[in-house]
Amino acid sequence: MAGRRVLVLGVVLVVAGAAVIAAAGTLSPGPGPQPGQARPWGPIVASGPAPGSPGFVAGTPSSPRIVRIVASGALRFYPDAATVQRGETVTFEVTTVGMASHEFMVGPAADVAGDVEGTPEIADIGMMQTKSLTYTFGGTGPFAFACHAPGHYEAGMRGTIAIIG
């Protein structure tokens, strides 16, 4: 009796699997991500040519360049380094994955390292949320970003920003 049940269950699973495959075969690939569209669960993809590369378009206050960053449960940012053109305006879209909430502070490296009051930051990015912060990079830096949730910076939750141009 038990053996017969296993056999029946196996047949059901095979049929279900075939149905899934058949359904998948009818799916169209779709248009894919559009420029500026948030894709927090997909791979980290560059939204265009990097600073210094041919075709690069610097962000401006009226049209900031989007840079996506993942804040992980392992207390790391991915990527943990960014390059911006001197003077450009960048919107950081920060997505938290995993169980912890995070912060995202960006600005002069010394201010970010010291968690100085008034340094631009997103104070609380809850689990699985995406929040954004727009910042204009004046001067030559150095600039940095970090999370100052208790213990996170000390654990290594920080990143560097290189300025070119």
Q: In the 8-state DSSP scheme, what is residue 164?
A: E
In order of 15, 44, 52, 66, the CA distances from 133 in angstroms are 49, 18, 23, 10
For the CB of residue 96, give the shortest distance to Cu ion in the complex, in Å: 8
By CB under 5 A, residue 149 contacts Cu ion:
yes
The verdict on 125 binding Cu ion (CB under 5 A) reads no
Is 65 a residue that touches Cu ion (CB under 5 A)? no
Q: Does 102 bind Cu ion (CB under 5 A)?
A: yes
Q: Which stretch binds Cu ion (CB under 5 A): 12-20, 32-40, 132-140, 145-153?
A: 145-153
User: Contacting Cu ion (CB under 5 A), which of 69, 105, 157, 161?
Assistant: 157
Token code pair at residue 110: 């010394």
Gap between the Cα atoms of 117 and 124, Å rounded: 15
Residue 144 touching Cu ion (CB under 5 A) = no
Query: Which residue type does 146 have?
Result: A
Cβ-count burial of 148 within 10 angstroms (0-12 exposed, 13-18 middle, 19+ buried)? buried
Contact call for residue 163 and Cu ion (CB under 5 A): no
Q: Is 152 in the site for Cu ion (CB under 5 A)?
A: yes
Task: List the beta bridge partners of residue 160.
Answer: 81, 144
Using CB under 5 A as the binding rule, whether residue 158 contacts Cu ion is answered as no
Residues binding Cu ion (CB under 5 A) = 102, 147, 149, 152, 157
